[in-house]
Structure 1
Amino acid sequence: MKFMLTMSGPISACEKMMKLTQAEIGAHIRFMLDLNAELKRTGEFVLAEGLDFPPQAVIVKATRPDAPTISDGPFAETKEFLAGFWIVDVASRERALAIAAKASTAPGAGGKPMAIPIEVRQVMSAPAIDG
């Protein structure tokens, strides 16, 4: 069973991350790399990526592929942002939830667990279509 675990938070969390010391950022990144290594050892790792901060985002809207409207971030209407994600291939929903719980404890300021909200959603396969 594949699941996508998305790590998101309020825009204020982005501002807090930017105030972390180099040592705190290093501890946070080491935690994520260690989690990824653990998932690789267990054969559950598919993909994981961190995403850039909201001000670097763009939104593309189009009614035709050759005439897009591109808007630069940050976006005033956005209250939360997607910080990163994992795709895991696990035996059960419970295992996906356990991985999400561990990811949520990534260290932040002073090494304290950040309690990052992690949304867990099963990756679905498209149904077969005729034609």
Structure 2
Amino acid sequence: MKYLVMVQGTHADYDAMQGKASEHSPAWSEKELQAMYAYMNAINDDLSESGEFVDGQGLADPDRTRLVSLDADGNPVITDGPYGETKELLAGYWVLDCASLERVTAIAERVARCPQPAGAPEYPVVIRPIMEGGAGDIC
């Protein structure tokens, strides 16, 4: 079964990783940032070796986000980021092909243990099964 495993963050977290502390997140040092990247790369390597890795990416700074919606007349409304400092957003994801929910949960637990500076906010790792069937999976 395929699963989408998502990590969350906020605009303040992206700023913190660039060395800008706020009331929401302490500044990351270069050493802390490198430890996080090494940890995530080790997870990616292990998932590739096990054959469970389908795709995974960290996402760009929320300043580069664009929302597209429709107004009451059906015209597009386009809004570019950034958004509120504390609004949670998708920071990165994996698409994994795992034998069971228990296996993907164990992977998510490992992701949740990623090193970060003391006082940095913690977010749950979100697991969502990917529907692979037909339109009947939607209902």
User: Could you tell me the TM-score, scaled by structure 1's length?
Assistant: 0.81
| SS at structure 2 position matched to 1:82 | strand
Shift of 1:107: 0.8
Q: Which residue of 2 aligns with 1:52?
A: 60
Which runs of 4 or more aligned residues in structure 1 lie more than 6 Å from their structure 2 counterparts after TM superposition?
Answer: none
Aligned-pair identity (%)? 34
Q: Distance in 1 between matches of 2:132 and 2:50?
A: 23
| SS at structure 1 position matched to 2:8 | strand
What do residues 1-48 of structure 1 show as CA deviations (whole Å, max 9, x unaligned)?
100000013444334333211111111111111100000111100001
1:3–1:89 CA contact under 8 A, matched in 2: yes
1:54–1:74 CA contact under 8 A, matched in 2: yes
Q: Distance in 2 between matches of 1:16 and 1:27?
A: 15
1:122 aligns with 2:129: yes
Shift of 1:77: 9.3
Q: Which amino acid aligns with 2:134?
A: P
Show structure 2 runs of 5+ residues with no match. 19-26
Summarize the Cα distance change of 1:50–1:88 in structure 2 as closer, same or farther, 3 Å threshold: same
Q: Distance in 1 between matches of 2:84 and 2:105?
A: 32
Summarize the Cα distance change of 1:126–1:78 in structure 2 as closer, same or farther, 3 Å threshold: farther
Q: Which residue of 2 aligns with 1:41?
A: 49
Q: Distance in 2 between matches of 1:113 and 1:4?
A: 24
Q: Which amino acid aligns with 1:59?
A: L
Of residues 28, 32, 36 in structure 1, which corresponds to 2:36? 28
1:92 aligns with 2:100: yes
Summarize the Cα distance change of 1:76–1:20 in structure 2 as closer, same or farther, 3 Å threshold: closer
Of residues 61, 74, 78 in structure 1, which corresponds to 2:82? 74
Q: Which amino acid aligns with 1:119?
A: V
| SS at structure 2 position matched to 1:35 | helix
Higher deviation after alignment, 115-124 or 38-47: 115-124
Summarize the Cα distance change of 1:27–1:77 in structure 2 as closer, same or farther, 3 Å threshold: closer
Show structure 1 runs of 5+ residues with no match. none
User: Could you tell me the TM-score, scaled by structure 2's length?
Assistant: 0.77
